[in-house]
Homo-oligomer: A and B are copies of this chain.
Amino acid sequence: MKAIILAGGSGTRLWPLSRYGLPKQFAPIHQGKSLLLKTVERLCDYLKYEDIYVITNEDYKFHVIEELRKVSTNLEGNIILEPVGRNTAPAIALCIKFCLEKLKCSPSEPLFICPSDHIIEPVKKFTENLVLCEKLAKNGKIVTFGIKPKEPNTGYGYIKKGKNIKDFEKSFEVEKFVEKPNLPTAEKYLKSGKYYWNSGMFGFTVNTMLKEFRVHSPQIYKKMSLPYEKMQADFGNMPNISIDYAIMEKTSRSAVLEADILWSDLGSWDSIEEIEAKDENGNIRIGNVVEINSKNSIFYAGERLVSAIDIENIVLVDTKDAILIAKKGSSQKVKDLVNILKARKAPEVIEHPTVYRPWGSYTVLEEGARYKIKRITVKPGQKLSIQMHHHRSEHWIVVKGVARVTNGDTVKLVHENESTFVPKSTKHRLENPGKVPLELIEVQNGEYVGEDDIIRFEDQYGRK
């Protein structure tokens, strides 16, 4: 079985931690790791890491590379690129095409598709379910993972189970898929014991899903007859439709597996409660938190000290440039806040002060009237584009590692505690020829220090 992780979403429901430039699946939300990495590690319990693939888009490709590298340095080929987001049905179709054409999979190959931004525990239980899922898939089923509802949640889709599937434990026919219900309906579902939360994970064989696309989604099926590169190039013409709509609600092959796991889609800051331990007063404290007489609150500190006095039922999230405080139970309104900020063109919804690039990252430490100070990290072996700025010169001081600096016609190595100067309108390039990350401080000086004063002459990441 191969697994494909869907990692193209740009969710900001955990703003200010998740932003367009660092969506939820890439943010170090749980135990200092990204949810994508947690997802990969979880799958590795059953699958070989080289059988794990990730579908994402060009913007997030280097985030995925970065996370996959933490598992193995050999997984860059395991990234499938969707040129634009077209929801899950076209994404899965593209993955199937990739498997058939690029990986030369047999049509009987089972595939497991899952989101990149959910929490699942414990791993062992999940693996047991995955084994069962593979068997069911090989039996011609399209398997969904159903989660036993814990409360009448109105934020999830539900699956109504039918009769037991013979010879398979915890496996049922699907009577119907239902969309997010209202509260009375959700309560009825919960009480009936016949409904599961739809966790958005699917298992099937290539063959099974191909047949279903042909019958229920001929528009997508037709595109699948194109060669892979053509299908990819034409991806913008795919219908924007989820696999639930396109296939699951129509197929007669669906099965639901009662997955007895702790599952959360971390859809809001409130849901952090499902995964983090509470102190004796019901508080969740992450980071440097000092409190007096506070109860049932979530304190998510970043780099700063967070202190609280007599606080109850409050969620506080601190990041380098933005703070959120919300009444507990109101954190789903983060989306309204994000919309307000977007309308104001607030930079805090787009990027963190630390901005990730294919070659590494930079953090703006301070910006003044005619200067800007950045800490720049370049990964070993990576290089920035050959570039030039008309309005600023740059002082570079290496604080860790070694830099190869092209500065006009000269090339030299700059070591820890050495500095160099790049004048205005001079072609230059920064590289890390070493084996450890290069860290340097850049002090920009000039009448204009905006990011758009850049002319790129050559870029190994294909950027203009």
Listed in ascending order, the chain A residues whose CB lies under 8 Å from chain B are: 16, 290, 292, 301, 304-312, 314, 316, 318, 320-327, 330-331, 333-334, 336-337, 340-341, 344, 346, 348, 363, 365-366, 368-371, 373, 375, 393, 395, 397, 399-400, 416-417, 419, 421, 439, 441, 443, 445-446
Contact = CB atoms under 8 A, between A and B. Distances in A.
Contact of A400 (B324, B344, B370, B395): B370
A393 B363 CA distance: 23
B375 A399 contact: no
A417 B399 contact: no
Given A318-B323, A327-B310, A305 B439 contact: no
A304 B327 contact: no
A374 to B, nearest CB: 10
Contacts of A337: 290, 292, 307, 309
Given A305-B321, A309-B334, 14 more contacts: A290-B346, A306-B322, A308-B324, A308-B325, A309-B336, A310-B333, A314-B314, A318-B323, A365-B366, A395-B397, A397-B443, A416-B445, A417-B445, A419-B443
A86 B395 CA distance: 51
B306 A327 contact: no
A305 B322 contact: yes
B340 A323 contact: no
A290 B321 CA distance: 13
Nearest to A423: B417
A337 B397 CA distance: 40
In this complex, which of A314, A331, A441 has the most chain B Cβ atoms within 10 angstroms of its Cβ? A441
A326 B305 contact: no
B370 A373 contact: no
Given A318-B323, A322-B307, A417 B397 contact: no
Contact of A311 (B306, B327, B346): B327
Contact of A305 (B323, B333, B369, B400): B323
A441 B311 CA distance: 40
The binding surface of chain A is classed by DSSP as strand
A209 to B, nearest CB: 41
Contacts of A336: 292, 309
A152 to B, nearest CB: 22
B310 A326 contact: yes
Contacts of A324: 307-309
A320 B393 CA distance: 28
Contacts of A371: 399-400, 441
Contacts of A306: 322-323, 325
A348 B301 CA distance: 15
Contact of A325 (B311, B334, B348, B363): B311
A102 to B, nearest CB: 42
B366 A375 contact: yes
A419 B336 CA distance: 47
A320 B321 CA distance: 10
A292 B340 contact: yes
A315 B307 CA distance: 12
A52 B441 CA distance: 46
B323 A307 contact: yes
Contacts of A307: 16, 322-325, 337, 341
Nearest to A328: B310
Nearest to A318: B323
20 contacts: A290-B340, A290-B344, A290-B346, A304-B320, A304-B321, A305-B322, A305-B346, A305-B348, A306-B325, A307-B322, A309-B337, A310-B327, A365-B366, A368-B400, A373-B441, A397-B397, A397-B445, A399-B445, A419-B419, A441-B443
B341 A290 contact: yes
Contacts of A346: 290, 305
A338 to B, nearest CB: 9
